[in-house]
A and B are shown apart, each in its own frame.
Chain A
Amino acid sequence: MNIFKAILDAFANPIFYKLTLSAATPLLFASLGGLFSEKTGVTNIALEGIMLLGAFSGVMGSALFGSPWIGVILAMMVGVAAAALHAWASINFQADQIVSATAIILLAQGLTGFLLEPVFGKPGSTDIYDKIPEIKLEFLGKGSFLYEMIGSLSPFVYLALILVVVSTLIISTTKLGLRMRAVGENPEAADTLGVSVYGVRWFGVLMSGLLASLGGAYLSVGELGQFTENMTNGKGFIALAALILGNWTPKGALFACLLFGAADAMNEQLQSNPSLAISSSVKPLFNLIPFVITLIVVAGFVGKTRAPAASGTPYEKKG
């Protein structure tokens, strides 16, 4: 059958692996962000909105200051600010974490849509601005399989992979990491030992904003150089599913994101494979594949992996 041949073709194609890496990268940033937040006991489904804000501010920085790097810094600042809103409501005022995050998603969609015209002069999407240049590994030999695969990747891809290691180190080997795990499992116990529950939770949520906004910035100034309305397309939620599948560890999140990325890459490869001759009208059917996979993963793995016990539960300081 053609379809099997097409799948084998994809596996033999170095571009498939490159696409996998680049599709996994934004998910990985957001997933690590979600990990920091959930480890301290705050669920943050606002990742989707924070990514969107990151994507927008990345391009805004690039457009206003002429440098995509400034865009990335701006994105991180905005991401942290949005996360601060979530932290403030859900930590200090014990708001329902899901509802508060929903508000932030809506705010992100509203604000980015609203500002498109005043900032960029037109609705819908921006022009194409400078993006962060890819890192060329020419020593691999242009045209070689390895070069096609990893010879020109965005620095974001490397950064995401480094962050997996850094996150693991922070969570498993530092004093802060020990406190994060304690606060996410039993905030009251940590509180009675003088650990600042609010402080640790604020750190976790702000980190989630920082990392998710980097994921968003990658989508705009890292990949396209452009912002379009609602360009995150549910990636923030897929990142949450990756967190579940990866059993709330950085390494697990990495593998889960690579899996989702590969599904995405395969989808793209099949759609563009001439031997399958897929007409443009059935493409929506292919586009729903990642969402179906996410649904199956969430339904199949939730409860089989272990979430931090206090995740999603507001903690009220005594006294």
Chain B
Amino acid sequence: MNKKKWMRVAIPIISILIALLIASIIIIWIGKGSFAERFDFLVKAYTEMVKGAFGNKTAIMNTIIKMTPLILTGLAVGFGFRAGVFNIGAEGQMAMGALTATIFAVNAASLPSFVAIPLTMIVGMLAGAVWAGIAGFLKAKTGAHEVITTIMLNWIAYNITNWAVTDPFNAGGGIPKSPEIASSAKLPNLLTSQASFMSFGILIAIAAAVVIYIILYKTSMGYEVKAVGFNPYAAEYGGINVSKNIILTMAISGALAGLAGTLESIGLYYRFYGTLSSGKGFDGISIALIGQNNPFGIIAASLLIGGLRTGSNQMQFVGVPKHIVMIIQSIIIFLVAAERMVMTIMGWNRKKGAK
């Protein structure tokens, strides 16, 4: 395939535009009245969406808050892709990371903040790493496909966390949630606006992106991860331990997802809820694909998806169900996966060899 460098950027952008176009058609379809009225409805829906995402300081803060875990789950999936593993389990790793970190943070009252916060983060990352590491281990040792194993681990994590916050770790009041974490473990705020606040979490997420960038492009470890992802046989021939790298990649990927969950707990909710991850792990897949597995591309893609998510909450008020975002995302993933489809639509591959 003679794919040029600029296409790596152009394909996701065109996919996004096509997805928005299809979403527009759906919105016009569910609208009522004449075509003009339906078109007005569409304009109103999108206006509300943009306003909801970037309309004022609070909106922008909400978008950044949404973006924070998405950067990390996007990095988790994208880093896995680089080593040829498809970690569809960021959802479960995020939940396990958040639950474990929360349990630790609830009991961290005796520690000063500068110890409690980093320790909580490490605990959350370790939990995510172990949870993903199970899938990595099974893939490396038995060849079990990580897509099936991580999905099973998602369901297992969902049930474990559900049980934990309804039974042994319940705050009472009949709601499935944990007690509040110790205040020493709470992330300090970066910005506040009226009743809302935004923690330092976004800076931690961006720092993680920088670290992943350095690992991928500047270190021998990144070299090994990429070699295993492109061609495991050649990697082994070059003295690289393929099993070790698959497990390590899954663990790093899981640690990033675990960190995503941890930041949600210590920077936003201050406790664990049963629905804390609510699809953010799966969003990581679209984000990694849109960002083409590049850490900085992933930050940009997180801004897009984060914006769509906050915007869609606003869009609900004019009568467009927020599930529209999932539809938009699914179309983007579909088109990025079938990039040749996009190239054909754009007429870029006309000179493709024969015929």
**Chain A contacts to B: CB under 8 angstroms:** 45, 85, 88-90, 93-96, 98-100, 102-107, 109-111, 113-114, 116-118, 123, 233-234, 237, 240-241, 281-285, 287-288, 291-292, 294-295, 298-300, 302-303, 318-319
A89→B151 CA distance, assembly (Å): 23
| Most chain A Cβ neighbours within 10 Å, of B30, B159, B282 | B159
Check if B259 is an interface residue, CB within 8 A of chain A. Answer: no
Rounded to whole angstroms, the CA-CA distance of A113 and B320 in the bound complex is 11
Could you say which residues of chain B place their CB within 8 Å of the CB of A287?
159
Q: How far apart sit A212 and B316, CA to CA, in the bound complex (Å)?
A: 32
The answer to the question of B214 belonging to the interface, with a C-beta cut-off of 8 Å to chain A, is no
Q: Name the distance in Å between B228's Cβ and chain A's nearest Cβ.
A: 18
CB contact under 8 A between A302 and B142, given known A104-B334, A114-B327? yes
Report which of B153, B330, B338, B355 forms a contact with A106, defined as CB distance below 8 A. B330
Contact (A285, B159) CB under 8 Å given A102-B333, A106-B333, A117-B321: yes
Stretch at the interface among B115-123, B162-170, B182-190: B162-170
Asked if B321 and A113 make an inter-chain contact with CB atoms under 8 angstroms apart, the answer reads: yes
User: In the bound complex, do residue A103 and residue B334 qualify as a contact, i.e. CB atoms below 8 Å apart?
Assistant: yes
Question: When the two chains form their complex, are residues B145 and A302 in contact, meaning their CB atoms are under 8 A apart?
Answer: yes
Contacts of B151 in A (CB 8 A): 234, 237
Q: Is there contact, CB below 8 Å, between B334 and A89?
A: yes
CB-defined contacts of B327 to chain A, threshold 8 Å: 107, 110-111, 114
Known: A45-B147, A113-B326, A319-B355. A288 touches B156 (CB 8 A): yes
Q: Are A111's CB and B142's CB within 8 A?
A: no
A149 to B153, CA, bound (A): 33
Choose from A85, A281, A295, A299 the contact partner of B156 (Cβ within 8 Å): A295
| Residue contact B147 to A299, C-beta cutoff 8 Å | no
Knowing A100-B334, A106-B282, say if A288 contacts B149 (CB, 8 Å): no
The 5 A-B residue pairs with the shortest CB-CB distance, nearest first, are: A110-B326, A107-B330, A95-B338, A114-B323, A103-B334
Chain B min CB distance to A244 (Å): 8
Chain A residues whose CB sits within 8 angstroms of the CB of B330 once the complex forms: 103-107, 110
Chain A residues within an 8 Å CB radius of B26: 114
Are the C-beta atoms of B329 and A99 separated by less than 8 Å? no
Nearest A-chain residue to B341, judged by Cβ: A93
Contact of B152 among A45, A283, A295, A300 (CB under 8 A): A295
The CA-CA distance from A109 to B321 in the complex, in Å, is 13
Write the residues of chain B forming the contact surface with A, with a CB cutoff of 8 angstroms.
26, 30, 86, 88, 138, 142-145, 147-149, 151-153, 155-156, 159-160, 162-163, 166-167, 282, 285-286, 289, 321, 323-327, 329-331, 333-334, 336-341, 344, 354-355
In the assembled complex, the Cα of A319 lies from the Cα of B143 at a distance in Å of: 35
> What chain B residues lie within 8 Å of A104 (beta carbons)?
330, 334
Q: Is the CB of A111 within 8 A of B159?
A: no
Q: Compute how far the CA of A104 lies from the CA of B156 in the bound complex, rounded to whole angstroms.
A: 23
Q: Which of B143, B323, B354 contacts A113 (CB 8 A)?
A: B323
How far does the alpha carbon of A100 sit from the alpha carbon of B285 in the complex, in Å? 11
Q: Is the CB of A102 within 8 A of B321?
A: no
Q: How far is the CB of B72 from chain A (nearest CB, A)?
A: 19
Smallest beta-carbon distance A63→chain B, Å = 17
A199 to chain B, nearest CB (A): 19
Q: Which chain A residue shows the least CB distance to B137? A: A299
Which residues does chain B contribute within 8 Å of A234, judged by CB atoms? 151-152, 155
- Closest residue to A123 on the B side, CB-wise? B321
- Contact between chains at B285 and A102 (CB < 8 Å): yes
Minimum C-beta distance from A120 to chain B (A): 12
| Chain B contact residues: helix, strand, loop or mixed | helix
Q: Nearest Cβ in chain B — how far from A300, in angstroms?
A: 7
List of A residues within 8 angstroms of B285 by Cβ: 99, 102
Q: Which residues of chain A are within 8 angstroms of B167 by Cβ–Cβ distance?
A: 281-282
Question: Nearest Cβ in chain B — how far from A249, in angstroms?
Answer: 19
Q: How far is the CA of A284 from the CA of B95 in the complex (A)?
A: 15
* Closest Cβ–Cβ distance, residue B12 to chain A (whole Å): 13
Task: Evaluate contact between A299 and B159: CB separation under 8 angstroms.
Answer: no
Tell me whether A298 and B340 are in contact in the complex, defined as CB-CB below 8 angstroms, given that A85-B334, A281-B166 are known contacts.
no
Chain B residues positioned under 8 Å from A240 (CB to CB): 148
CA distance A123 to B323 in the complex (A): 11
Contact of A103 with B333 in the complex, beta carbons under 8 Å: yes
Q: Are B166 and A107 in contact (CB under 8 A)?
A: no
User: In the complex, which of the residues B88, B324, B354, B355 contacts A114, with contact meaning CB atoms closer than 8 Å?
Assistant: B324
CB neighbours (8 Å) of B145 from chain A are 298, 302
**Given A285-B163, A288-B155, are A89 and B321 also a contact pair (CB < 8 Å)?**
no
> A237-B152, A240-B148, A284-B163 are known contacts. Are A95 and B337 too (CB-CB below 8 A)?
yes
Contacts of B30 in A (CB 8 A): 118
Q: Flag if A106 contacts B326 (CB, 8 Å).
A: yes
**A105, A241, A284: which has the most chain B beta carbons within 10 Å?**
A284
A94 and B340 in contact, given A103-B330, A106-B282 (Cβ under 8 angstroms): yes
Contact residue among B159, B286, B340 (Cβ-Cβ distance under 8 Å from A288): B159
Query: What is the bound-complex CA distance between A110 and B327, given in angstroms?
Result: 5
Q: Complex Cα distance A227/B148, Å?
A: 25
Q: Which residue of A lies closest to B285 (CB)?
A: A102
- Shortest C-beta distance, B121 to chain A (Å), equals 27
Given contacts A99-B337, A102-B285, A106-B330, are A298 and B321 in contact (CB under 8 A)?
no
Return B112 CB to nearest CB of chain A, in Å: 35
25 contacts between A and B (CB under 8 A): A85-B334, A93-B340, A95-B334, A96-B337, A103-B330, A103-B333, A107-B331, A110-B329, A110-B330, A114-B26, A114-B324, A234-B155, A237-B151, A237-B152, A241-B148, A282-B163, A284-B166, A291-B155, A291-B156, A292-B156, A295-B138, A295-B149, A295-B152, A298-B152, A299-B142
